[in-house]
Chain A
Amino acid sequence: MSSFSVTEPSNGQKWFAGILVVLYALITIMPLAWIMMTGFKTPPDSISYPPKVIFEPSLEGYVNLFTTRTRVGQEALDALPPPETWYEEIVRERDMVIAGPSKFGERFLNSVIIGFGSTFLSIVLGTLAAYAFSRFKIPLADDLLFFILSTRMMPPIAVAIPIFLMYRNLGLSDTHLGMILLYTAVNISLAVWLLKGFIDEIPREYEEAALIDGYTRFQAFYKVVLPQAATGIASTAIFCLIFSWNEYAFAVLLTSGTAQTAPPFIPTIIGVGGLDWPAVAAGATIFLLPVMVFTILLRKHLLRGITFGAVRK
């Protein structure tokens, strides 16, 4: 860059812009920071007025998130042997004993199983379809691609009506398999569109050289194209994972127990022990943190992912 350029903003402009953007970033991050802080407050601290910024950190929210508790009388409490673990101690201070684990662990595990299951399927099917769309002449290819995309325009509740009836007949309601298939069907449009873009960018010459060297088309696909597309496949997979992880509408309508994921469950925590905001905040923190980490890892491909590959930067 030359020392004088008409397109390079002046130092004053840079400072001004920088201060405004930092200000916005701090405001935007405040709700997230607040929820993470609330997870480490005691229930009384979490609802104090004025809101407490400085407080004594406590793990009570996390203990309450993972356990169910029952209140016992003072006499019964005195008769109990002293608490053996730190979390029992926290619970005892509120005149309660641990009754058992809460359902949060199971719901979180369901999110993991369904998230990874549907991501894996979407990526396998999506990569194959994207390769075919990228390399072969498929009749009506553009119409098919548009059709795949248009499946995203249905409101999820509208799709849920017939799926609800269909799953009821097939016995897929509230099952992991049912949810995995459903999320795969939703994710596949994103996977095909993104992966087609990534595969389009790999020069055809590589495969043609391999074909001439005696590879079959299939060998050329998995020995030449797949390794080249690895970064694209990885970032597409993360987008699919985040979608399944965050999905709420289908989950709340089609699951109730066995296969319920965390998003419909977290808001119900509040009902378990009255106004237990630290437990809700703890659940939200555990649930949102992985997505934040992935977002930071993905930042180079973020734009592409959220626009279905329409904007590639």
Chain B
Amino acid sequence: MSDTPLTKAAEATPPTVARKIRGLSDRAIAWIFVGPTIFLLLAINIFPLIWTINLSFTNYRANRTNRAVEYIGTRNYERILNDSDIWLSMQATAHFLIWTIIFQVLIGFTLAWLINRKFKGNDLWTTIIVLPMMLSPAVVGNFWTFLYQPQIGLFNYVIAFFTGADPSSFQMLGSVDLAPWSIVIVDTWMWTPFVMLICLAGLRSIPDYIYEAAEVDRASKLRQFFTITIPMVLPFLMLAVLFRGIENFKMFDLVVQLTGGGPGSTTEVASINLKREAFEKWRTGYASAFAIILFVTVFGLASIYVKALNKVKER
């Protein structure tokens, strides 16, 4: 750099002053940079949310636009809480949510633990295992209906091969008893790798010296597992459960393609019920109220859960 008086003066000037001279101020740039994002979210997320809240107090029907819209107070909300269909769909959602999380946590953690044994080629196999979770749930659901075909489907054939049953004797998607499990199976197949990856990150974050110290203290391997491995992985595992919980509470595409909510309404999870109300029965006001209830539920449960998660992290 040339040693002219001018550059010397520039160097002596504090940068904050210099910035005001050249170009826009930091504050202006900050707002120019954040502005478009906030604007987009206001237009496509917040404004619609407020509109939904407004609609939830009306008897509006989107397919009859010329009918006068009446405000009916909280009647939609009262009806929803007494609607047995809605409660059934919440039960279906709970069944799906609880079992997918149990299976994914058990299998995902076990896989992560095995992969962390650092055998040769574990990277390659991890990449293969991860593939299903990045795919389009709708397309995946659609091709699983093919695998679930009685008689010709691969799934039925494999089960029949190992159990000796007749492959056309059971219908995974068509029977009231099996359909709720068939959606759990596909979701578990698809999302176990997600839990696995997060657990693996947790396992890899445990420094070796903790185990070495435990070894010096002659703690058994089993004891090390329960007093070191599990507590250290727990915050990661809880995070994975949070993500899966939110996603599966909203679950729509996979289940719509697999069962469409059927047979009857055995697998009609909350989102499918909401879609029926809003876009098939066209009870827009009623559906809006249900949407708000769902949002408040997810948001509330997630907030409580995050508090618990933070407590575990602090320990």
Contacts and interface: CB of A to CB of B under 8 A. Distances in A.
Q: How big is the B interface, by class?
A: 35 or more
Interface string A151-193: 1111111111111111000000000000001101100100010
Contacts of B40: 125, 181, 184-185, 188
A46 B23 CA distance: 66
Contacts of B197: 302-303, 306
Contacts, number: 299
7 contacts: A6-B212, A6-B215, A31-B143, A217-B24, A248-B252, A288-B139, A311-B198
Contacts of B299: 150, 153
Contacts of A165: 51, 62, 284
Contacts of A310: 239
A31 B147 contact: yes
B135 interface: yes
Nearest to A263: B138
User: Taking each of B117, B212, B287, which has the highest tally of chain A beta carbons within 10 Å of its own beta carbon?
Assistant: B117
A20 B189 CA distance: 16
A132 B34 contact: yes
Interface of B: 10-11, 15, 18-19, 22-24, 26-27, 29-34, 36-38, 40-41, 43-45, 47-49, 51-52, 55, 62, 111, 114-115, 117-123, 125-139, 142-144, 146-147, 151-154, 157, 167, 189, 193-194, 197-198, 201, 204, 208, 211-212, 215, 236, 239, 243, 246, 249-250, 252-253, 256-257, 270-271, 274-275, 278-279, 284, 287-288, 291-292, 294-295, 298-299, 302
B147 A155 contact: no
Given A184-B40, A263-B138, A281 B152 contact: no
B18 A211 contact: yes
A307 B198 contact: yes
A260 to B, nearest CB: 12
User: Taking each of B52, B133, B139, B288, which has the highest tally of chain A beta carbons within 10 Å of its own beta carbon?
Assistant: B139
A211 B243 contact: no
Interface of A: 5-9, 13-18, 20-22, 24-25, 28-32, 34-35, 38, 46-51, 125-126, 128-129, 131-133, 136-138, 144, 147-148, 150-166, 181-182, 184-185, 188, 192, 208, 211-212, 214-219, 242, 245-249, 252-253, 262-264, 266-267, 277, 280-281, 284, 287-288, 291-292, 294-296, 299, 302-303, 306-307, 310-311, 313
A284 to B, nearest CB: 5
A42 B36 CA distance: 51
A156 B154 CA distance: 32
Given A50-B157, A296-B127, A311-B198, A21 B111 contact: yes
Q: 10 closest pairs, A vs B, by CB?
A: A216-B23, A158-B291, A162-B48, A17-B117, A18-B119, A185-B44, A248-B138, A246-B136, A132-B33, A248-B253
Contacts of A25: 125, 128-129
B33 A280 contact: no
Nearest to A292: B131
A113 to B, nearest CB: 17
B246 A153 contact: yes
A18 B287 CA distance: 50
Nearest to A6: B215
Contacts of B212: 6-7
Contact of A162 (B19, B52, B126): B52
Contacts of B23: 216-219
Contacts of A291: 134-136
A71 to B, nearest CB: 24
B274 A158 contact: yes
Contact of A29 (B131, B151, B274): B131
Given A25-B129, A159-B48, A263-B136, 8 more contacts: A21-B122, A31-B144, A51-B154, A162-B47, A166-B47, A208-B15, A263-B253, A295-B131
A53 to B, nearest CB: 10
Contacts of A147: 41
Given A20-B114, A38-B146, A155 B271 contact: yes
B138 A136 contact: no
B36 A217 contact: no
Given A125-B36, A266-B139, A292 B49 contact: no
User: Taking each of A21, A24, A218, A299, which has the highest tally of chain B beta carbons within 10 Å of its own beta carbon?
Assistant: A21
Contacts of B49: 154, 162
B135 A158 contact: no
A59 B257 CA distance: 26
Contacts of B30: 132, 136-138
Given A211-B15, A217-B29, A246 B125 contact: no
A128 B31 CA distance: 10
